[in-house]
């Protein structure tokens, strides 16, 4: 921020922005008295921030005005929240206090402003605390403080999300290290929070901004391909919609239809996680039908949704394995809809989403709409899922069996985890996190059942306890009186609840397990040639998110901490084409040309990560901007390992053509090649050495032109 007297142009700009907000606020406020409070908040904030400018040079007051616009238009909050958004930086950045706000605007708005001020303070001031030995605890406490406000007033977090979204929109004016710190926090905390609270619009926009600055080349290429694709397909989508509109009108259904294109981030994420090219993103297009039910009765609303689905499948062929019923089993954040994928007459698969007006409001505005409908007495029996999650957060926050370092990891995993629905032998419905095993389900039912489990039946078939559950499975646990937990269970259990129960079972053997853990620790360091000294012990503790050395040995002895933790802490660091003191991270293997950021370790070494590396997001969230530097290249004389995955139609001579292209045409050295063929289709990977990203892209482009190769993408080693 800087001080500079406002010009006539500045005052006109402020007035123009306020006119936009005031129009939105008038429609949202219930009466003139409420709007008068918003007007008063604007006048007060405008005076408090007079002649103060942001980094962009614009008047600072534009920031709270635009945050308030997001609060009312994207989240759907009311008078007090709009006012708090306008006032949210006053206490932090001016001489005014929370008491001043309370005297002028009352207790509720003061509480909201105070909560926002505390969140801003802990995030902004965390960097100054990170130089102490317990610095890694700071971000865990920050997240804890943010989440505790959920129980005071969830509107504090909702307004903070609006504030963070606007900061992301104007992030181009930030220096690069500060920008990466904000983007790291956004991906690790705020995007998962927006997802859990059902704010899909806010979440999607933050994801796209993250991609734009973390992987600018990928963002630009995907955006351009989407634009070209839309221009080519727009007429086909309209032709697909026309029969649907006609059928709905003939059935006297009040509705609206929206066309939606998959976002660049969601396309990039799917390409990256599924290892598929852009051409295989089949759900690029979506059509959303929003209908007005003839009654507020949830049963009537559901029946009409299924009726519309039946109407669609009468018009077009559906892809049965792509049908999703989020009405009978809503997502844990309250999301409800029917999703189906239909084949258009132009031969394109198009996803269709069916929502009632209420479902659409909750999908777009999340928890704010959820509670608005709840207050008005119109919410389905599934609406309590959000309340259950808030109660779960509170339970974790007050738990005594979790330290500050583990807290960040536990809460983050809970934020990004989705749930599936499975059934007991009697047909009772149970929600459990996606990826959970049969044994996780046993512990969900009761600790005694989990402890005594020996096997299970899933859909009447005998399976091991490690079997991963799928949505809709019916699960029967088989127990034995002599059954008891085994250390190897910890290798496949997924839920924190189940893992904690098994760990507690072995606490009685704690002394023996600690001694075993000491031996394991010493052996692994020796095998890696790493000195057993206090510095490396602290480094390892920080990596595994623990403070207590005895607890570390106990978990090592129990098998909870594996060889990969040692490799990720001490191994795999290679000198990179940077100036002295720089190494590359083995978790993401960056090469010259990748967007990268450097993290300064305790010993002064700078470890270089790709900007999209999940571990870098965790580091930026733990340490803030003080540990990050922009790496400086010194040479391109080295070669670096990468892996490319490929698949396609097998033919005689294909393997020889691939190897000749890589070795002879491009002059690259291959370190490993693994390709398998079955039923005329081949797939596998090649590991090779490249000098930089430009050379890699040249190789990928040439590979795609080889007859028979359908997919070829870079994947992590």
- Considering only residues 534 and 667, tell me which one the structure prediction assigns the higher pLDDT: 534
Q: Rounded to whole angstroms, how far apart are CA atoms 130 and 641?
A: 34
Q: Rounded to whole angstroms, how far apart are CA atoms 660 and 435?
A: 41
Q: Rounded to whole angstroms, how far apart are CA atoms 245 and 341?
A: 17
Residue 642 in 3-state DSSP?
strand
Mean pLDDT of 157-169: 93
Q: Are 684 and 655 in contact (CB under 8 A)?
A: no
Pairing of strands 574-575, 582-584: antiparallel
- Kindly indicate the confidence band of residue 382, based on its pLDDT and cuts at 50, 70 and 90: very low
What does the pLDDT read at residue 475?
Answer: 93
Residue 345 in 3-state DSSP?
coil
Of 57-71, 562-576, 597-611, give the lowest mean pLDDT range. Answer: 562-576
What does the pLDDT read at residue 134?
Answer: 42
What does the pLDDT read at residue 624?
Answer: 63
What does the pLDDT read at residue 431?
Answer: 78
Q: Residue 598 is encoded by which pair of tokens?
A: 């450097």
- Considering only residues 578 and 468, tell me which one the structure prediction assigns the higher pLDDT: 468
Provide the 8-state DSSP code for 189.
I
CATH number, domain 640-715, options 3.30.2350.10, 3.30.70.260, 3.40.1190.20, 1.10.10.10: 3.30.70.260
Mean pLDDT of 54-76: 93
- Considering only residues 140 and 340, tell me which one the structure prediction assigns the higher pLDDT: 340
Q: Among 136, 130, 125, 121, which residue's Cα sits nearest to residue 403?
A: 136
Q: Are 268 and 222 in contact (CB under 8 A)?
A: yes
582, containing H or E segment: strand 582-584
Pairing of strands 453-458, 461-463: antiparallel
What does the pLDDT read at residue 599?
Answer: 83
Q: Is the pLDDT of residue 604 over 80?
A: no
What does the pLDDT read at residue 665?
Answer: 77
Q: Is the pLDDT of residue 376 over 60?
A: no
- Considering only residues 369 and 219, tell me which one the structure prediction assigns the higher pLDDT: 219
What does the pLDDT read at residue 390?
Answer: 60
- Considering only residues 79 and 379, tell me which one the structure prediction assigns the higher pLDDT: 79
Q: In the Cβ-directed half-sphere of 421, how many Cα atoms lie within 13 Å?
A: 15
- Considering only residues 653 and 378, tell me which one the structure prediction assigns the higher pLDDT: 653
Query: Which residue(s) pair with 457 in the sheet?
Result: 462, 476
Q: Rounded to whole angstroms, how far apart are CA atoms 22 and 445?
A: 52
Q: Rounded to whole angstroms, how far apart are CA atoms 176 and 173?
A: 9
Of 60-69, 221-230, 426-435, give the lowest mean pLDDT range. Answer: 426-435
**Residue 504: partners with Cβ closer than 8 Å, 6 or more residues away:** none
pLDDT in tens, 285-320: 889 999 999 988 888 999 999 999 999 999 999 987
Q: Is the pLDDT of residue 384 over 60?
A: no
Q: Is the pLDDT of residue 86 over 90?
A: yes
Mean pLDDT of 243-268: 93
User: Which range in 518-532, 582-596, 609-623 is most confidently predicted, on average pLDDT?
Assistant: 518-532
Q: Are 344 and 350 in contact (CB under 8 A)?
A: yes
Q: Are 25 and 73 in contact (CB under 8 A)?
A: no
For tokens 């009632």, the residue is 356
Percentage of residues of the chain with pLDDT beyond 90:
33
pLDDT in tens, 613-653: 877 777 776 666 667 787 765 544 567 778 888 888 888 88
Q: Is the pLDDT of residue 211 over 50?
A: yes
- Considering only residues 221 and 279, tell me which one the structure prediction assigns the higher pLDDT: 221
Catalytic residue status for 107: no
What does the pLDDT read at residue 130?
Answer: 42
Mean pLDDT of 88-103: 92
- Kindly indicate the confidence band of residue 228, based on its pLDDT and cuts at 50, 70 and 90: confident
What does the pLDDT read at residue 129?
Answer: 45
629, containing H or E segment: strand 628-629
What does the pLDDT read at residue 48?
Answer: 95
Q: Rounded to whole angstroms, how far apart are CA atoms 634 and 507?
A: 52
- Kindly indicate the confidence band of residue 380, based on its pLDDT and cuts at 50, 70 and 90: very low
**Residue 206: partners with Cβ closer than 8 Å, 6 or more residues away:** 164, 165, 168, 186, 190, 191, 194
pTM of the full predicted structure? 0.68
Pairing of strands 582-584, 606-610: parallel
What does the pLDDT read at residue 585?
Answer: 77
Of 116-125, 497-506, 645-654, give the lowest mean pLDDT range. Answer: 116-125
Same fold, 216-383 and 418-481: no
Q: Rounded to whole angstroms, how far apart are CA atoms 528 and 546?
A: 22
What does the pLDDT read at residue 676?
Answer: 84
What does the pLDDT read at residue 257?
Answer: 95
Q: Are 373 and 379 in contact (CB under 8 A)?
A: yes
Q: In the Cβ-directed half-sphere of 518, how many Cα atoms lie within 13 Å?
A: 7
Catalytic residue status for 93: yes
Q: Rounded to whole angstroms, how far apart are CA atoms 447 and 603?
A: 45
Mean pLDDT of 49-72: 94
Mean pLDDT of 476-503: 88
Q: Give backbone dihedrals phi and psi of 459, rounded to 5 degrees, phi first.
A: 55, 40
Q: Residue 302 is encoded by which pair of tokens?
A: 């559901």
| Catalytic choice (32, 33, 43, 93) | 93
Number of other residues whose CB lies within 10 A of the CB of residue 411: 22
Domain ranges in the chain? 2-173, 216-383, 418-481, 508-569, 640-715
3-state secondary structure 229-273: HHHHHHHHHHHHHHHHHHHHHHCCCCEEEEEEECCHHHHHHHHHH
For tokens 């000195």, the residue is 531
Percentage of residues of the chain with pLDDT beyond 70:
84
pLDDT in tens, 436-470: 999 999 999 999 999 999 999 999 899 889 999 98
- Kindly indicate the confidence band of residue 16, based on its pLDDT and cuts at 50, 70 and 90: very high
| Catalytic choice (43, 74, 92, 476) | 92
User: Which range in 201-215, 268-282, 388-402 is most confidently predicted, on average pLDDT?
Assistant: 201-215
As a residue count, the chain comes to 717
Q: Is the pLDDT of residue 577 over 60?
A: no
- Considering only residues 241 and 151, tell me which one the structure prediction assigns the higher pLDDT: 241
**Residue 398: partners with Cβ closer than 8 Å, 6 or more residues away:** none
Mean pLDDT of 674-681: 82
Q: Is the pLDDT of residue 409 over 60?
A: no
Mean pLDDT computed over every residue of the chain = 82
Q: Are 473 and 461 in contact (CB under 8 A)?
A: no
Superfamily of domain 2-173: Hypothetical protein af1432 (1.10.3210.10)
- Considering only residues 511 and 715, tell me which one the structure prediction assigns the higher pLDDT: 511
Q: Rounded to whole angstroms, how far apart are CA atoms 691 and 593?
A: 9
Q: Residue 713 is encoded by which pair of tokens?
A: 């993408």
pLDDT in tens, 319-340: 877 788 888 877 766 788 999 9
CA distances from 327 to 103, 318, 332 (A): 46, 19, 12
Starting at the edge strand that comes first in sequence, how are the strands of the sheet with 596-600 ordered?
A: 574-575, 582-584, 606-610, 596-600, 628-629
- Considering only residues 694 and 553, tell me which one the structure prediction assigns the higher pLDDT: 553
Q: Is the pLDDT of residue 50 over 60?
A: yes
Domain 418-481, architecture per CATH: Roll (3.10)
Superfamily of domain 216-383: Beta Polymerase, domain 2 (3.30.460.10)
Q: In the Cβ-directed half-sphere of 681, how many Cα atoms lie within 13 Å?
A: 4
């Amino acid at each position: 921020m800087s001080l500079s007297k406002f010009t006539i142009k500045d005052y006109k700009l402020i007035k123009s922005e306020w006119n936009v907000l005031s129009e939105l606020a008038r429609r949202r406020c219930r009466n003139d008295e409420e709007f008068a409070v918003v007007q008063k908040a604007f006048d007060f904030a405008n005076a408090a921030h007079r002649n103060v400018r942001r980094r962009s040079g614009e008047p600072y007051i534009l920031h709270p005005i635009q945050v308030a616009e997001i609060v009312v238009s994207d989240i759907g909050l009311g008078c007090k929240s709009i006012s708090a958004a306008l006032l949210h930086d006053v206490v932090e950045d001016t001489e005014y206090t929370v008491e001043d706000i309370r005297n002028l605007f009352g207790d509720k708005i003061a509480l909201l402003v105070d909560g926002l001020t505390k969140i801003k303070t802990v995030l902004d001031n965390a960097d100054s605390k990170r130089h102490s030995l317990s610095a890694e605890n700071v971000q865990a406490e920050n997240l804890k403080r943010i989440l505790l406000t959920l129980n005071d007033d969830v509107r504090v977090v909702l307004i903070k999300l609006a504030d963070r979204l606007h900061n992301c929109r104007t992030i181009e004016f930030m220096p690069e290290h500060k920008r990466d710190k904000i983007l790291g926090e956004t991906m690790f905390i705020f995007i998962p929070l927006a997802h859990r609270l059902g704010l899909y619009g806010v979440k999607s926009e933050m994801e796209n901004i993250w991609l734009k600055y973390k992987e600018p080349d990928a963002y630009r290429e995907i955006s351009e391909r989407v634009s070209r694709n839309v221009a080519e397909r727009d007429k086909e989508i309209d032709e697909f919609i026309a029969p649907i509109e006609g059928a709905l009108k003939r059935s006297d259904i009040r509705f609206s239809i929206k066309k939606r294109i998959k976002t660049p981030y969601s396309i990039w994420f799917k390409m990256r996680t599924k290892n598929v090219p852009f051409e295989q993103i089949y759900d690029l297009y979506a059509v959303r039908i929003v209908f007005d039910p003839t009654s507020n009765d949830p049963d009537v609303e559901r029946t009409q949704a299924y009726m519309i689905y039946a109407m669609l499948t009468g018009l077009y062929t559906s892809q049965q394995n792509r049908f999703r019923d989020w009405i009978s089993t809503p997502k844990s954040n309250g999301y409800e809809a029917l999703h189906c994928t239909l084949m258009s007459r132009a031969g394109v698969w198009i996803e269709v989403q069916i929502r009632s007006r209420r479902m659409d409001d909750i999908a777009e505005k999340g928890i704010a709409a959820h509670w608005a409908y709840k207050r008005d007495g119109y919410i389905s029996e599934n609406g309590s899922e959000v309340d259950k999650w808030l109660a779960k957060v509170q339970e974790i926050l007050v738990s005594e069996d979790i330290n500050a370092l583990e807290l960040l990891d536990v809460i983050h995993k809970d934020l990004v985890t989705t749930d599936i629905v499975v059934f007991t032998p009697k047909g009772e419905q149970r929600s459990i996190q996606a990826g959970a095993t049969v044994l996780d389900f046993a512990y969900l039912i009761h600790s005694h059942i989990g402890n005594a489990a020996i096997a299970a039946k899933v859909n009447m078939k005998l399976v091991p306890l490690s079997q991963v559950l799928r949505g809709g499975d019916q699960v029967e646990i088989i127990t034995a009186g002599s059954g008891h937990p085994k250390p190897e269970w910890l290798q496949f259990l997924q839920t924190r609840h189940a893992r904690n129960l098994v760990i507690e079972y072995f606490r009685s053997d704690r002394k023996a397990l600690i001694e075993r853990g000491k031996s394991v620790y010493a052996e692994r360091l020796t095998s890696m040639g790493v000195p057993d000294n206090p510095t490396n012990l602290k480094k390892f503790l920080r990596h595994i998110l623990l403070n207590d050395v005895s607890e570390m040995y106990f978990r090592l002895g129990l098998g909870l901490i594996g060889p990969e933790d040692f490799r990720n802490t001490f191994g795999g660091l290679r000198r990179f084409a940077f100036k002295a003191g720089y190494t590359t991270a083995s978790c993401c293997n960056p090469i010259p040309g990748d967007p990268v950021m450097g993290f300064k370790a305790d010993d002064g070494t700078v470890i270089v990560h790709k900007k999209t590396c999940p571990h870098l997001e965790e580091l930026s969230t733990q340490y803030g901007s003080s540990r990050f530097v922009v790496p400086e290249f010194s040479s391109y004389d080295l070669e670096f390992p990468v892996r490319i995955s490929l698949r396609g139609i097998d033919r005689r001579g294909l393997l020889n053509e691939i190897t000749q292209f890589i070795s002879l045409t491009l002059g690259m050295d291959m370190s490993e090649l693994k390709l398998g063929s079955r039923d005329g289709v081949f797939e596998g990977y090649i590991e090779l050495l490249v000098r930089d990203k430009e050379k890699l892209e040249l190789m990928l482009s040439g590979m795609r032109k080889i007859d028979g190769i359908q997919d070829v993408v870079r994947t992590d080693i």
